[in-house]
Amino acid sequence: MKLRRPVACAIFDLDGVLLDTEHFYTAVTQEICGEYGKVFDWSIKRNMIGRPSLESAEYLVDALSLPISPREYLSRRTRRLEELFPMADEQAGAEAFTRALAAAAVPLAVATSSERHLFELKTRRHRDWFSIFDAIVVGDDPRVKAGKPAPDIFLVAAESLGIEPCRCVVFEDAPAGLEAALAAGMQVIALPDPAMAREPYAAADIVIERFSDLAPADLGW
């Protein structure tokens, strides 16, 4: 596995890449949808992951014809997720991989669509680990004018690291995130959920199943 050009830093999405949180979103959304006799599955979720919360909620309500507003759905979902997020585990191999990069003095950033208060809940048990990242950019950062698939969040992360976008590599699990990183002029390593079809990741530079499939040396570090 090899990237097309050398890179100087690594930028990571949070949900489904560094932390195993996607199952929380799935379970809670199905709880809500199930109250109205609807089924929330990957045919719907694949079009939502990685996007800003309100945009995803609007899609869900429209796609399943839910008799609630997107904001009501988000309010109900958030209350339940806030109970679950502090229990989030790392995605297998993520901590070891990122710590290896940090030990090699590779600048690291997190770029997540999650709002700041949700990021803090998700990382509560992992504060020592997340202290190794040089920049954390969240979805409600005022510098991020548009959410994924717009490139804003990755451009802000690159600026925070002081590194040109063309010298960044992004680790993403969502098609919207892949699109955003490519629009930012960055290379992408995709880690799709096993339930996702692989076609949406065709434009990624590298596709891996897990972090153990890749070593820092594979990226020139």
- Is 15 considered catalytic here? yes
Which among 15, 141, 173, 205 is annotated as catalytic? 15
Of 68, 86, 104, the domain-final residue: 86
Same domain, 107 and 191: yes
Quick one: pLDDT at residue 1? 72
pLDDT in tens, 12-59: 999 999 999 989 999 999 999 999 999 998 889 888 877 788 899 999
Same domain, 94 and 79: no
How big is the chain by its Cα radius of gyration, in Å? 17
* Full residue range of the structural domain in which residue 181 is found: 9-20+89-219
pLDDT in tens, 61-88: 999 999 999 999 999 999 999 999 999 9
Q: Is residue 3 part of a domain?
A: no
Which among 13, 141, 173, 205 is annotated as catalytic? 13
Q: Which strand (E) or helix (H) includes residue 168?
A: strand 168-172
In this structure, are residues 68 and 187 in contact, taking their beta carbons and an 8 Å threshold? no
Alpha carbons 58 and 203: distance in angstroms, whole number: 27
Quick one: pLDDT at residue 61? 97
Q: What total number of domains does the chain contain?
A: 2
State the DSSP string of 74-133: HHHHHHHHHHHGGGPEEPTTHHHHHHHHHHTT--EEEE-SS-HHHHHHHTGGGHHHHTT-
Question: pTM of the full predicted structure?
Answer: 0.89
Of 42, 69, 86, the domain-final residue: 86
- Is 13 considered catalytic here? yes
Of 45, 65, 86, the domain-final residue: 86
Quick one: pLDDT at residue 194? 84
Quick one: pLDDT at residue 195? 79
